[in-house]
Amino acid sequence: MNFDWSEYLNLAKELAGHAVSRAGQEARLRVAISRAYYAAFCKCRNHLRDKEVHHVPSGSRAHQYVRDQFKRSPNKLRKRIGYNLERLRSDRNKADYDDRVVLIDKLTNTDLALADKVISILNKL
């Protein structure tokens, strides 16, 4: 069955304290996948910008730039960050745009662990 996109509005109302009814679990999992990506991405973007003094482009170009800076590094840990960001971005796109996401429970758990791993590695750089 296709995702009922109005569940995002229910979740938004719930998060804002205006809920009339509780949002469904799939909406929560989709948002978890999306936010896990953005947690990892923004930490990486800020690391490049603030600690390594990169001029990170604004807008949608920043996503590719950040991934590439890590993926192209000769350092194995930095490469892992880049490839994990790529996976997280791909999954975020599925969660945000696809009507159906196969095994979303498993995908959510995987992405939460990947985002944790990215941030943990980043904190050691």
Q: What is the DSSP letter of 99?
A: S
Per-residue pLDDT band at 99 (split at 50, 70, 90): very high
Q: State mean pLDDT over 17-24.
A: 82
In whole angstroms, what separates CA 85 from the centre of its chain? Answer: 8
State yes or no: pLDDT of 29 exceeds 90: yes
Q: State mean pLDDT over 40-64.
A: 96
Per-residue pLDDT band at 120 (split at 50, 70, 90): very high
- Residue 87: strand, helix, or coil: helix
- Are the CB atoms for 10 and 22 separated by under 8 Å? yes
- What is the token pair recorded at 64? 């590719």
Q: What is the DSSP letter of 53?
A: -
State yes or no: pLDDT of 21 exceeds 90: no
C-alpha separations of 56 from 12, 42, 105 in Å = 30, 11, 33
State yes or no: pLDDT of 23 exceeds 90: no
